Each structure stands twice: as structure tokens, then as C-alpha cells.
A and B are shown apart, each in its own frame.
Chain A
């Protein structure tokens, strides 16, 4: 009997990009009218995008080679019934008062609650599936107007495949006094979760909206790709808080953009403690004269977490004001990236743009990259920026210990103190407490 020839495997070539997704055109949820077109166009755009690689400027510091893209599947309708349920604490109000409405988005389902008083004022706060049925014209008008599938592969993917999401619509001059709350709960492994949030605040209206994305820690992989489209009308006011508490196995991508019209005001708060890897694009377009936007971010990474926030403050009209402050602490071998750009368009005179990123490194092996940028095409503007990466110093710790405060608590005080300027920007005790708890949990885990 002849011996089989020896097979020599010689694998020296490193794969330069992750394997691509295995979704097919029939993964796109059915839809009618403009929604159907939006999804079809998005799918088309998606098929043209290659997987980002680290020679793409936006992806230079965030590596997707280990993303098991081909393994991800869409959750089936009702999939949540067989998955871990939303923990009670995620549904508690974070804003110190009762919610005016609450939405729970689940894999393959959702649950909606809205104060009838708000319904009677014409406020719409519902999930995308319900909106498709009950408010098709409005949805068709608003969807895909602010974030485009062309913005990136994950924007295209989320636009095409997202059956889940929220539509918040506040009619002209309506002031919503009680905060609205939504939770995106994404348990399960090998699943891809998609979400699409549309927040449309008409002229002269105001609202506070808190959205949290979360999942338990599981072994294996999962992913989320999300879109957030925000419109703040003339003299309207939106306070939008988003919390990212994904499990440690989740690859998280989002494309978010807010457009603020004349005299409008957006107070945009980001808190991030979860996920394995996050790449977040957040753009603020100050489109009308006198528009104001504030972006406040806090993050705390540990273990091998990797969070990348890519922000853009676009001053497109005169007398616009933007103010960005992102602060982060890093532990273990974790890494953060913040790259921010202030853009001032020609003619956008008398604008005032500010951006600062401050990082506190708690371990020698953690690393923070901080890359501010300015591109100014008008001549009468005021734009400043700052970026710092500092370490936890010995002298403050010794000082605190000399007053009887043990090492761990002293570290916690210094870290909380570091975050205080950003906490001062968050008027919700519940949100602050949630973050303080995360700080405590992360500091108390041994090696990170």
C-alpha cells in the first residue's frame, strides 16, 4: 500500500483583515415604503465596503483582525424568550424621578410604555417595529436623514439589518418634563444586535432621554452595531444620556450624529464601561446660527478592553458653541483612543469650540491615545483644545492614607475626584451612582 504524500502546511502570510460577515440580502428585514428603500440602499452600500483595516485613518488604532464576523447571526423573532432576562436594576429610573416612558429592546422583540399624558400631546416614543405599523409616514420621513449608509461599513450594516430601535418624536413647542428611558438588552453569543435610534425634537420643544445598551458577561463573542440620529430643532433643547454597559465579549460599533438648528441646544453625555471593543463615531453638526452643543464623556476600561471614541464638532454656522470634555481611567492592559476634530466651516464666524480629553492611567500596561485636531476655515473664531495622559501619583495617595484612609479607598477617592468635573455635568444622581459603582467594581478586581 502506497504511503500518502506528506502534506506540508506553510502558513506565513498574516491575514490583514478580519473575515467578512456572512449575512445575505435575505437577512434584511422586510419593510414598506421609504424604509424598504433605505434598507435596500444600505445593504447595497454595505456590500461595497471592505472590512476596515488599520491603514484606514479612522481604524489605525483599533484592530478588527480578531473579530469573528462570519460567525454572527441575527437573533430570531422572540429569541429573547430563551435568553437571560433584563436585570431589574437596569429598568430603574436613573434620573431621580419616574420615567415618562420606557422602552426595552430585546433580541427579536421589545416592550414599550408611555405616559398617556405625553401621548395626548403628540409625543411619540416607541420601538421601530411599532413605528413602522403606527407611524409609517413619520418614520419614512425621518429615517436615514442624518446618518447615511455611506458613513461606514457598520453604519451601512446597521441601517440595513436593524429591525430594532427607538423613534422619539417631540412635536413643536412641547416640553416633556419627565425623562424618557430606553434599554437595549443584548444577551446571547454568536449574535449580532443592531439598533437604530431616531430622536427628533421639533422647534421649541424640549426633552431628556436616557438610553442604555447592556448585556451580561458571557464567554464567546457577540456584536452590536448601532445608529443614532438626532435632530434638535430651532430653539429646541435635548439632553441625551447614553450609557454603554455591554458585556466583556461584545464588539460594539456605532455611528451617531446630531444636527442642531438655529438656537438649539444639545447636552450629550456618553458613559462607557463595557464591551470588549468599541468603535464609536459621534458627530455634532451645529447647523444653525447660535446652535450650542456640549459633549461630555466618561469611560473606565480594565482587563483587555479597548474603547475608541472618534468625535467631530462641526461648526457649520456663525455664533455656534461646542464644548467637549472626555475623561477616562484605564486599568490592566486596557486601551482607550480618543480622536477629536473641531471643524469650522468657511463663514462660521464668532464660533467658540473647545475640546479636551483627560486620561488617568492606573497601571503601567494600560495605554491611552489622545489625538485632538482642529480644522478652521473661518478667521474670527475661538478654538482651544487640550489632551493629557497622567498617572496615579504616589503623593496624593500617601496624603490620603496619612488621614487613615486605606489604600483601595484612597485610590477610589483620587479616581472619583478625577471624574468629578464630568460628574458635575450630569444632573442625575442615578447615573452618577451607576458610574461610581462601576469605578468601585473595577478598582476592586485584582489584576484587572
Chain B
């Protein structure tokens, strides 16, 4: 059973504490949504899980499949089965989508077996075409430089393409719905739904309920000031859609800190 356990996580960036004791457990096969207003630490959670060097964990732990994730480099976390779909995917000029994905696949194979010669090109082409078809992507996409000059929708689709190709066990989607029109949103959601299943745990980080109309979460959490303050089922998201975050703020600001 692959489970991701986050316990009492405290994270700072440049000495400013952003996460202040966040706990969350995601089992394989479950879809969780973390919602919350801007500036509450949602993206910090996403980057910290992936091991971004600008974020310092000062307290708490992250355990994945029984292993302490905090000891691992980002590439090791990825190979262990954690995937982050970036809110702002980074352009890598001069590196094609295909070349990049092949490098990513081959790094996995080599980590498993240092003698591995890499995935044969015909096999890789077939895999890539299959995944691109699933996401209704033009095959020419494979030859473009990664995220370089991509539209917002293309970037997000490219993130899901990577997810489909790398087959993670835990996928974190950081504001994957931002900047997408309704058609692109549907394609991306269909892609995630096609990959979801008993093998995959999903953590959706989002400001709006919109994406949750297309990807149905099992659990919804509300984040406020670096902590999860409410947890519930899918109706919690609907409630937030109607009422906004003010009621959560009022409820929790009333509780003195500490």
C-alpha cells in the first residue's frame, strides 16, 4: 500500500514560516482536494513535497511508502513515485518534449538497473503517441521545445502528458485548472480521471471548486494560514463554492493561536 503521510509539517522560506503544522494522509486510490484562499501555503505544500530547494522543513515529517521523503533529492522522490504537476511549468529551451520524456524514463530504468541501455526508440515512440492521443494532443507536440512558447493550456496538458508517461503513485496537481478555458479543463480532467484508479493517489490543490466538477474528490480539506482547518467529503467543496472562505476564517480566527 503506497501511502503519503504528512505529519505536523512546518516549512519556512527565507525564515518566514509558511506551513505551521500541517498533517494529511493520502492513500493510493484516493483523491484529495486541498482548497484555500491565496497566500495560505498551498503551493508551498506542493513544492515542499517535491523537494524544492528554497523551502526549508523546520519540523515534522513526510513519509511515503514507509520511507522518509525529506532525506531524498527531488529526482529520487520522483523515481519513488511522487509527481508534481506544476502551476507554472518551466520552459527548457532547446530540449524537446520527446527528448525530455525519454531522459526521464531512462533515468528511472537506470536507477532500477545501472546496466539498462534505455527504452528502445520505437517502444518509446509508441508509448508517447498513445499518451498524446489520450490527451488529444497533436503528435508534432513531441518535437517542440519543452514549455517554450506553450500556451497556458498546452503547458497544463504537457504536465498531464508527463504524468501519464511517468506513471506516479502519488500525483500532486498544483492549481492545474488555472489559466484553462473550459475545453482545456475538460481534456485535462479527462486525462487525470483516466489515470486515477486504485494505483494512484491524487492531491488536487486548488483555489476554486471548478476543477472538482470534473474530478470528483473523495476528501476535501480547507487550508488556512499554513494548516488544514477543516476536512470533509465532496460537499465541503460545494459549501465553499456557495459561502466562500469567510466563514472558515471567522471560525478559526476566533481560536487563539498555540
Residues from chain A with Cβ under 8 Å of B75 in the complex? 401-407, 410
Are B107 and A420 closer than 8 Å at their CB atoms?
Answer: no
Q: Of the listed stretches A120-128, A181-189, A196-204, A411-419, name the one at the interface; the rest are far from the partner chain.
A: A411-419
Chain B contacts for A418, CB-based, 8 A: 93-94
- Please report which residues of chain B, range 75-112, place their CB below 8 angstroms from some CB of chain A when the two chains form the complex: 75, 77-79, 83-84, 86, 89-95, 99-100, 103-104, 107-108, 111
**Residues of chain B contacted by A409 (CB below 8 angstroms):** 103, 107
Q: Chain B 59-80, CB within 8 Å of chain A: the 1/0 string? A: 0000000000000011101110
> Which of B83, B91, B100 is the one whose CB lies under 8 Å from A413?
B100
A421, CB-defined interface residue at 8 Å: yes
Residue of B nearest to A421 (CB): B94
Give the interface centre of B92, B94, B162, B166 by most chain A CB atoms within 10 Å.
Answer: B94
Instruction: Provide the bound-state CA to CA distance between A403 and B90, in Å.
Output: 12
CB of A404 within 8 A of CB of B78, answer yes
Write the chain B residue with the least CB distance to A404: B78
How far in angstroms is the closest Cβ of chain B from A109? 42
Which residues of B lie under 8 Å from residue A399 when comparing CB positions? 86, 89-90, 92
Q: Is B128 an interface residue (CB 8 A)?
A: no
Residue-wise, chain B 176-204 has the 8 Å CB interface mask toward A (1 for contact) of 00000000000000000000000000000
Number of interface residues of A (CB under 8 A): 23
Decide yes or no whether B50 CB sits under 8 A from chain A. Answer: yes
**Shortest beta-carbon distance from A327 to chain B in Å:** 10
**A394 CB-CB contact with B under 8 Å:** yes
Q: What residue of chain B has the Cβ atom nearest to residue A414's Cβ? A: B92
Whether B53 is near chain A, meaning CB under 8 Å from some CB there, is yes
Q: Which residues of B contact A414 (CB under 8 A)?
A: 92, 95
Cβ-based interface call for A88 (8 A): no
Q: Which of chain A's residues has its CB closest to B80's CB?
A: A404
Seed contacts A399-B89, A399-B92, A400-B92; 16 additional CB < 8 Å A-B pairs: A396-B90, A396-B92, A399-B90, A401-B78, A402-B74, A402-B78, A402-B84, A403-B104, A403-B166, A406-B73, A406-B107, A413-B92, A416-B94, A417-B92, A418-B94, A420-B145
What is the interface of chain A, defined by CB distance below 8 A to chain B? 394-396, 398-407, 409-410, 413-414, 416-421
